[in-house]
Amino acid sequence: MTLPKLDGALRQFMYGKLHRVTITGAELDYIGSVTVDPVLLRASGILPNTAVDVVNITNGERITTYVIEGTEGEGVICLNGAAAHQFSKGDLAIIMGYEAVPAHDLPGRVSRAVHVDSANKIVSTDEYVTPHPTMLGAPENNRQGQQYETVKA
């Protein structure tokens, strides 16, 4: 078996996500972006003005946009502009931030998942360590079949 070469080529790495957030608004008459509570941004490591993917669990839509800050502590997750066509208040979504990382820096790199309740208050965080290619297939890295336990506010 040949392992992938960990050279300096850049790969997109999902460094942080907000998992199963509840959409609090969809504002069509706005220039664009997703508004996120700064509490959630800090917990996930996602920064304003950076690109994110937003996946709508409710209807399967997926968009790429950028982040702007909302009001601290309000739990806001609002899709703005054209994205408002793809999301409705009350939909569940995942927001994922990515960064370009040299392949040789990926092993050991941590990805953080922030889990929230239905009011977008943090209930837990998980950190996943990226394995080295020689560790692929190790039982402790197997996440197949993991189910998400829903949490109510």
- The domains located in the chain, with CATH, are 11-134 (2.40.40.20)
Identified catalytic residue from 30, 33, 88, 118: 33
CA distance 87 to 12: 25
Neighbours of 123 (CB within 10 A): 12
> What's the rounded mean pLDDT across residues 105-118?
95
Of 66, 124, 128, 148, the catalytic one is 66
Active site residue 66: yes
pTM of the model: 0.89
Q: What is the DSSP string of 107-145?
A: TT-EEEEEEE-TT--EEEEEEEEPPPGGGTT-GGG--TT
> 153 falls in which pLDDT band (50, 70, 90)?
very low
Tens digit of pLDDT for each residue in 36-84?
999 999 999 999 999 999 999 999 999 999 999 999 999 999 999 999 9
Quick check: is 15 catalytic?
no
